[in-house]
């Protein structure tokens, strides 16, 4: 079964310890990413999307740690339990950049200002390939050209401050793709960019996915982006995945009240300005004082006593799963 999987996360818990208080930022998350497919992860700010991504790359800050669960990477030479590797040890370093690469939210700060873009891309090649310096230079130029950057020979010798935001993000993607990783983690790659550039970046990612069979984990809070790009989607709320499935499952037949509220809160193009956009009432709870049961219960219109215990995950089909005590009743009423 595992041979079409690229990465699998099981019951992952990552906690932060600050001032002797514990923030269960990721509290039991499971998902698989398949080769050549895109898994979208959506959720409000602070729900643990970035922490999940950092956990997979072992890029967590010092005051946090993997509490439980597993992260398994299916390499060509067998399974690797990433959660059991030493944080910055040689095995982990061999995976970073070469097997699993990451693109960050803000291209303005993610590149080192004192080195040329070409140098920073070349650095990855130096540590993960046997290419000689001349071959590396040629490969950098080829990568920049692939990303649609004009005059790549000249651009490679320029510094990040000579690049526009969109071009920096392309350079970041070039860097991430330089060693043909099997998994690409994109943490809100276009949040800092305008809409036309956003479309170009997504076209680029789709092209890479089909050409290189890269598995993509796409983090976003934009349901529209999910509908466009993802094959599967996981909806996160306060450190849990509340609903997951194929894009059809989740967007067409949403089961969890949170997923529905999320879908109701986005305007639909063409429906005019009188459309009924509902914002979700209340605010996300204090991450240090989380509700005991269903995390969404305090804001949920359908919450009852049954919601005071953490709901089990139930499968509606092979692909579609939901964690809600009352989804059956609510669904009938709707």
Partner 1 sequence: MLTFILRRLLITIPMLVAISFLVYLGLELTPGDAVSHMINPEVANSISPEQLAEMREALGLNKSFFERFSIWLFNVVQGNFGHSLSGGVAISTIVLDRLPATLELSIFALLFSTVIGCSLGVISALKRGSPTDSALTVIGMLGVSIPEFFFGLVAILIFALNLGWLPAGGRLLPGYDSFFDRLPHIILPGIVLSLMMTAGVMRYSRSAMLDSLSREFIRTARSKGLPEWRINLIHGFRVALTPVVVLIGFRLPTLIGGSVVIESVFQWPGVGSELIDAVRGSDYPLVMMIALLSVFAVLLASLIVDILTALIDPRVRLG
Ligand X SMILES: Nc1ncnc2c1ncn2[C@@H]1O[C@H](COP(=O)(O)OP(=O)(O)OP(=O)(O)O)[C@@H](O)[C@H]1O
Residues at the interface with partner 1 (CB under 8 A): 57, 59, 88, 92-98, 101-102, 104, 106, 109-115, 123-124, 127-128, 159, 161, 172, 175
Q: Does 48 bind ligand X (CB under 6 A)?
A: yes
Burial class of residue 114 (count of CB atoms within 10 Å of its CB; 0-12, 13-18, 19+)? exposed
Q: Does 209 bind ligand X (CB under 6 A)?
A: no
Q: Does 14 bind Mg ion (CB under 5 A)?
A: no
Q: Does 19 bind ligand X (CB under 6 A)?
A: no
Report the partner that residue 127 touches, choosing among Mg ion, partner 1, ligand X, none (CB closer than 5 to 8 A by kind): partner 1
Q: Does 298 bind ligand X (CB under 6 A)?
A: no
Q: Does 52 bind Mg ion (CB under 5 A)?
A: no
Rounded (5°) CA angle 197-198-200: 65
Decide whether 43 or 245 has the Cβ nearer to ligand X.
43
Q: Does 49 bind ligand X (CB under 6 A)?
A: yes
The 10 Å Cβ neighbour count of residue 94 is 15
Site residues for ligand X, 58-87, by CB under 6 A, read 61
Residue 64: CB minimum distance to ligand X, A = 7
Q: Helix, strand, or coil here: 58? A: coil
Give the whole-angstrom CA distance, residue 113 versus residue 116: 8
Decide whether 127 or 288 has the Cβ nearer to partner 1.
127
Q: In sequence order, which residues have a C-beta less than 8 Å from that of residue 169 and are 6 or more positions away?
A: 103, 107, 189, 190, 192, 193, 197, 201
Decide whether 34 or 221 has the Cβ nearer to Mg ion.
221
The residue whose Cβ lies closest to Mg ion is 50
Give the whole-angstrom CA distance, residue 41 versus residue 36: 16
Among 27, 50, 64, 72, contact with Mg ion (rule: CB under 5 A): 50
What are 161's two structure tokens? 């401050």
Q: In what order do the strands lie in the sheet with 5-18?
A: 21-34, 5-18, 64-75, 78-81
End-to-end CA distance of the chain: 37
Q: Does 307 bind ligand X (CB under 6 A)?
A: no
Residue 38: CB minimum distance to partner 1, A = 19
Residues in the chain: 334
Site residues for ligand X, 270-289, by CB under 6 A, read 287
Decide whether 125 or 201 has the Cβ nearer to ligand X.
201
Q: Does 225 bind ligand X (CB under 6 A)?
A: no
Give the whole-angstrom CA distance, residue 21 versus residue 137: 49
Q: Please work out the total of residues on this chain that contact Mg ion, with binding judged by CB under 5 A.
A: 1
Supply the DSSP string of 90-103, one letter for each residue: HHHHHHBTTTEEEE
Give the whole-angstrom CA distance, residue 59 versus residue 39: 20
Window contacting ligand X (CB under 6 A); options: 15-23, 163-171, 252-260, 320-328: 15-23
Q: Does 51 bind ligand X (CB under 6 A)?
A: yes
Helix 133-146 to helix 117-128 angle, to the nearest 10 degrees?
120
Residue 321: CB minimum distance to partner 1, A = 30
Residue 169: CB minimum distance to Mg ion, A = 16
Which residues are near Mg ion by CB under 5 A?
A: 50
Which residues are near ligand X by CB under 6 A?
A: 16, 18, 23, 25, 43, 45-51, 61, 221, 287
């Amino acid at each position: 079964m595992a041979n079409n999987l690229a990465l699998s996360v099981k019951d992952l818990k990552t906690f932060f310890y600050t001032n002797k208080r514990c923030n269960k930022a990721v509290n039991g998350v499971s998902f698989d990413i398949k080769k050549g497919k895109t898994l979208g992860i959506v959720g409000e700010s602070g729900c643990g999307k970035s922490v999940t991504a950092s956990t997979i790359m072992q890029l967590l800050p010092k005051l946090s740690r993997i509490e439980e669960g597993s992260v398994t990477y299916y390499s060509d030479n067998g399974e690797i339990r990433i959660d059991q590797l030493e944080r910055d040890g040689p095995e982990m370093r061999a995976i970073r950049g070469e097997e699993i690469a990451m693109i960050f939210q803000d291209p303005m700060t993610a590149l080192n200002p004192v080195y040329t873009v070409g140098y920073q891309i070349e650095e990855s090649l130096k540590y993960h390939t046997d290419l000689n310096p001349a071959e590396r230079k040629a490969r950098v130029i080829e990568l920049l050209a692939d990303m649609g950057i004009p005059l790549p020979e000249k651009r490679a010798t320029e510094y990040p401050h000579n690049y526009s935001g969109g071009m920096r993000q392309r350079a970041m993607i070039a860097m991430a793709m330089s060693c043909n990783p099997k998994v690409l983690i994109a943490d809100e790659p276009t949040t800092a960019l305008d809409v036309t550039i956003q479309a170009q970046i997504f076209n680029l990612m789709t092209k890479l996915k089909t050409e290189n069979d890269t598995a993509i984990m796409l983090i976003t809070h934009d349901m529209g982006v999910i509908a466009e790009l993802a094959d599967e989607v996981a909806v996160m709320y306060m450190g849990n995945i509340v609903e997951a499935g194929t894009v059809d499952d989740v967007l067409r037949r949403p089961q969890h009240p949170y997923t529905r509220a999320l879908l109701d809160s986005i305007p639909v193009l063409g429906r005019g300005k009188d459309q009924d956009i509902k914002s979700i009432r209340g605010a996300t709870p204090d991450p240090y004082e989380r509700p005991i049961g269903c995390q969404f219960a305090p804001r949920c219109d359908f919450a009852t006593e049954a919601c005071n215990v953490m709901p089990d995950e139930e499968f509606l089909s092979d692909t579609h799963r939901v964690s809600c005590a009352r989804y059956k009743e609510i669904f009938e009423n709707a």
